[in-house]
Structure 1
Amino acid sequence: MPMSFMTGSIVGGRFYKKVTTREADDGNGWNVMLDYRTLKTPSKRPLQCPTLALAKAIAAEWEFQQIDGIRPFTMPLMKLTCTALERVPLTRPKIIEHLTKKIPSRPVGNKEARVGSISWSSEKVFSLEQDVPPEWTEKEQAFFLLPHLLERELSRLKRQVEKLDPLLNWVESEFDFKPIVYSSFFGGKQEEGLVEAIENLLKKTDDCELAAIDAIASSAHSLVIALGIFRGRLDIEQAIELIRLEEDLQVDRWGLVEGGHDVDIADLRVQVSAATVFLGLSRKH
């Protein structure tokens, strides 16, 4: 995929006036037409969509482009379709292998905390240390700080469990194995049966489905969340809440950083929403 599809760059000016769709010549899909030209992939193959709905959505992305230039970063459905047509068929085994490697250490994708873990940051310790008399020894300070830290972390842990347990229980009902969420940063092994069951599911997906799952898993840092969307267990908002669970807990405590957290949230919403919409539009039934 050209770098421009993943950045905010502008490539050339708008060279067409009218965007339409038509059935492919072989009758097996739909093309997007820019005037009389058939829209093509980066490798110059006709971009052939499996459904009319997806073709019309991509046509809308191209219709949105302005006279001063084409902005590929505003066409996520185009990007995902190109991935499904060109990258997935050539690298399917590697994609599946990469996805299954996400299962053992990080089944639900929290970047910092794990269900069952207790951790704290230097920021939290510092805020409490302001109340500690400076003449106290390190042991006396630790004796004072630990209950406060444990109370906060246990409260956070309870919220994580409340949010994540329903998803883990769903995985167990789907695959007959419940993911183990480790307290160690490096995680640990999952049941071989769970890994094998998920791998078999991924092997049965079509190219568009696998492209969508891979995109969601990459944004979520979690294959389980991606599968939750794929199976209809999670909607976009539920998925984003789970993905950002740890970060949102920190925001509740320390506040939202403008130009930081808000940008991350917006970017995550675009990535997850685009892949989820693509998944739905590409399905023939």
Structure 2
Amino acid sequence: MSHIPPLDPNVAARKGFRESEERLKRFWKAVDVAEGEGGWAVTLDGRTPKTPAHAPLRLPTEAAARLAAGEWAAQGEFIDPATMPATRLASTAIDRVSQVREAVAEEIAAFAGSDLLCYLADHPTSLAVEQAREWTPWRDWAAIELGVVLEPAEGIRHRAQDPAAIARVRDLALRLDDFALTGLAMAAPLLGSAVLALALQRGLLSGEAAFDLSRLDEAFQERQWGVDAEAAERTAARRAEAVLLDRWFRALS
């Protein structure tokens, strides 16, 4: 079971905030950030809002605090948690990930054991060629730069990976602070890949590029058969999550 809530706005709106807060009226006029002990706080009329667990909403960098503060400033008459993804990430880091870092790192590492980049199509050939061309450089990067050596396979049959590679991903995750670790824990399931998540976190891939790499098979199927409106809406929502995570990591760096 995952130790962090999903980033999807509809689910997070239900789980990341208490029910009573979903229709809480805006009670502030001015939004700013302020540096203090432990980082940068969002301020509403000079006071720091609290996370769902009643901790101060304080982030490690000014840029990250301003990213969250922008969401508070953009609220209308009522607070809409679905429009506050950076605030949810910060609250998750403060309230939950800080308490279960080892378990969260294990969840991220598990994606290395079944990493999307290791499963090449056995047919059609054109898709397999595209996957090999686009994914091989990132597996090579993980091996050379991160020490994470993953072996590819054809088809959907599971291929066990070297436990040392999985352990290495876990160690890399644990080196991150709570806020970056939270972002990585959101990125790995979104992209289906620990490698792509780490490349995004390190700024080597944009959110758009990482997301496009994660859905080569979907894009291929869309080119063959087209795409309906519902599927396009789901894809757009997932792409928006990837873009938000990109902004999150850049604000933390």
Please say if residues 196 and 210 of structure 2, whose CA atoms lie closer than 8 Å, have aligned partners that are also in contact: yes
Aligned twin of 1:61: 71
Distance 1:45 1:82, change over 3 A: same
1:37 positional shift:
2.8
Determine the C-alpha separation between the residues in 1 that align with 2:239 and 2:151.
Answer: 27
Report the TM-score, using the length of structure 2 for normalisation. Answer: 0.87
Aligned twin of 1:144: none
Determine the C-alpha separation between the residues in 2 that align with 1:222 and 1:263.
Answer: 22
Aligned twin of 1:275: 245
Determine the C-alpha separation between the residues in 1 that align with 2:203 and 2:143.
Answer: 15
Q: Structure 2: state its 5+ residue gaps.
A: none
1:176 positional shift:
4.0
Determine the C-alpha separation between the residues in 2 that align with 1:220 and 1:168.
Answer: 14
Aligned twin of 1:264: 234
Aligned twin of 1:6: 12
Determine the C-alpha separation between the residues in 2 that align with 1:250 and 1:242.
Answer: 14
Report the TM-score, using the length of structure 1 for normalisation. Answer: 0.78
Q: 1:82 aligns with which of 91, 97, 103?
A: 91
Verify: 1:168 aligned to 2:173, yes or no: no
Greater Cα offset, 34-43 or 91-100: 34-43
1:116 positional shift:
5.0
1:237 positional shift:
2.1
1:191 positional shift:
1.9
Verify: 1:18 aligned to 2:30, yes or no: yes
Please say if residues 116 and 181 of structure 1, whose CA atoms lie closer than 8 Å, have aligned partners that are also in contact: no
Verify: 1:155 aligned to 2:126, yes or no: yes
Larger Rg: 1
Aligned twin of 1:181: 152
Distance 1:37 1:105, change over 3 A: same
Aligned-pair identity (%): 28
Verify: 1:207 aligned to 2:178, yes or no: yes
- Deviation per CA, 1:29-76: give whole Å up to 9, x if none: 111111243111111111111111111221110110011x11111111
Please say if residues 107 and 181 of structure 1, whose CA atoms lie closer than 8 Å, have aligned partners that are also in contact: no
Q: 1:254 aligns with which of 217, 225, 249?
A: 225
Q: 2:109 aligns with which of 74, 96, 100?
A: 100
Determine the C-alpha separation between the residues in 2 that align with 1:14 and 1:43.
Answer: 20
Please give the secondary structure, in 2, of the residue aligned with 1:66. coil
Aligned twin of 1:233: 204
Amino acid paired to 1:164: W
Please say if residues 31 and 72 of structure 2, whose CA atoms lie closer than 8 Å, have aligned partners that are also in contact: yes
Determine the C-alpha separation between the residues in 2 that align with 1:178 and 1:100.
Answer: 13
Q: Structure 1: state its 5+ residue gaps.
A: 119-152
Please say if residues 112 and 169 of structure 2, whose CA atoms lie closer than 8 Å, have aligned partners that are also in contact: no
Number of residue equivalences: 241
Amino acid paired to 2:12: M
Determine the C-alpha separation between the residues in 1 that align with 2:114 and 2:39.
Answer: 39
Verify: 1:45 aligned to 2:55, yes or no: yes
Runs (4 or more) in structure 1 with deviation over 6 Å come to: 1-5
Please give the secondary structure, in 2, of the residue aligned with 1:33. strand
Q: CA RMSD in A?
A: 2.2
Greater Cα offset, 30-39 or 180-189: 180-189
- Deviation per CA, 1:256-277: give whole Å up to 9, x if none: 21232x2122111221111221
Q: 2:120 aligns with which of 92, 109, 115?
A: 115
Determine the C-alpha separation between the residues in 1 that align with 2:120 and 2:230.
Answer: 29
Distance 1:19 1:212, change over 3 A: same
Greater Cα offset, 9-18 or 272-281: 9-18
Greater Cα offset, 2-11 or 90-99: 2-11
Q: 1:91 aligns with which of 88, 93, 100?
A: 100
Aligned twin of 1:141: none
Greater Cα offset, 28-37 or 93-102: 28-37
Amino acid paired to 1:84: A
